[in-house]
Amino acid sequence: MDLQSLFTTLHIAAGTIALFAFWGAAFLRKGSTAHVRVGQAYLAAMVTLLAVAVPLVVERIADGRPSGWFLAYLLLITVTAVWTSWRAIRDKRDYARYTGLPLRVLGVLNLGGGLAMLGYGIALGQPLFIGFSLIGVFAGRDLIGMHRKAPVDARWWMREHLNGMTGNAIATHISFLSIGLPRLLPDLSGPVLMNLAWFGPLVVAFGVRALILRRWEKTAARAEAAVAARRAAARHPDGAPATP
């Protein structure tokens, strides 16, 4: 087995583990020991997948294939998603640390990479390149300016973790649908599957993220209201209004 075949096999194996670990963590109770352990397995699989993807991307660029630069860009935005989903949990009590130099560097790289891919996609007439370029542009813009803003609330890290996991979900499912599934079921390969493989996870992931955020924000608002009510009751146990 040559190096390219070895890296491709490792990439597919890591992607398969990541796919199962992603859904395992999704169905486990958030914050439980099992959720944390499966999440760690997912992180390890994604790091392996990204590491073995580097030589495959370099080879495509060296061969002069346009897809090489696109895959390099996808590698960048996936690294960003893995980083933010991990660091949001590790730094959830330290917003300044989370929004430090590494995040700002990733923001600059995402913004620059997104703009470059936008121009590249327009030059080649590639809607796929153009569509995905917007992820880097908007993500980069947000990451660069985060350190200048105060966190929205005490659970800012949950939003950041969810944002990162949305990116991870897109990368994991694109990898499976565009690489793994055609190998398992060759009869399904073709342009229809390829378009579905690239744009399907993007649409579904952002839709699910919007629903989860809406549900989470309603739950958080009810919890804050309950805390405020308990504090008010503690200040005025007899129910009488406060006197000036």
Per-residue confidence (pLDDT) for residue 115, from 0 to 100: 97
Higher pLDDT, 167 or 143: 143
The residue range of the domain holding 123 is 3-203
DSSP character string of 74-93: HHHHHHHHHHHHHHHHHTTT
* pLDDT over 50 (residue 71): yes
What DSSP assignment string belongs to 52-82?
HHHHHHHHHHHTT-HHHHHHHHHHHHHHHHH
Q: Is residue 211 part of a domain?
A: no
**126: phi > 0 → left, psi -120 to 50 → alpha, else beta; which?**
beta
Q: Is 123 within the bounds of a domain?
A: yes
Is 225 among the domain residues?
Answer: no
Do the domain assignments include residue 229? Answer: no
Count of CB atoms within 10 A of residue 219's CB?
10
pLDDT tens for each residue of 205-243: 667 667 766 776 666 666 666 666 777 777 766 555 544
pLDDT of amino acid 244? 46
SS3 at position 28 = coil
Report pLDDT digits (tens) over 137-164.
999 999 998 988 888 778 889 889 988 8
Does residue 77 lie in a domain region? yes
135 domain residue, yes or no: yes
3 state SS of 104: helix
pTM for the model: 0.78
Q: How many CB atoms lie under 10 A from the CB of residue 52?
A: 19
pLDDT band, very low/low/confident/very high, at 56 (cuts 50, 70, 90): confident
Q: Is residue 217 part of a domain?
A: no
Q: Distance (Å, rounded) from C-alpha 110 to C-alpha 133?
A: 9
Q: Is residue 173 part of a domain?
A: yes
How many domains does one find in the chain? 1
Q: At what angle do helices 156-175 and 3-27 cross, to 10 degrees?
A: 130
CA distances from 176 to 9, 15, 122, 169, 192 (A): 13, 7, 27, 11, 15
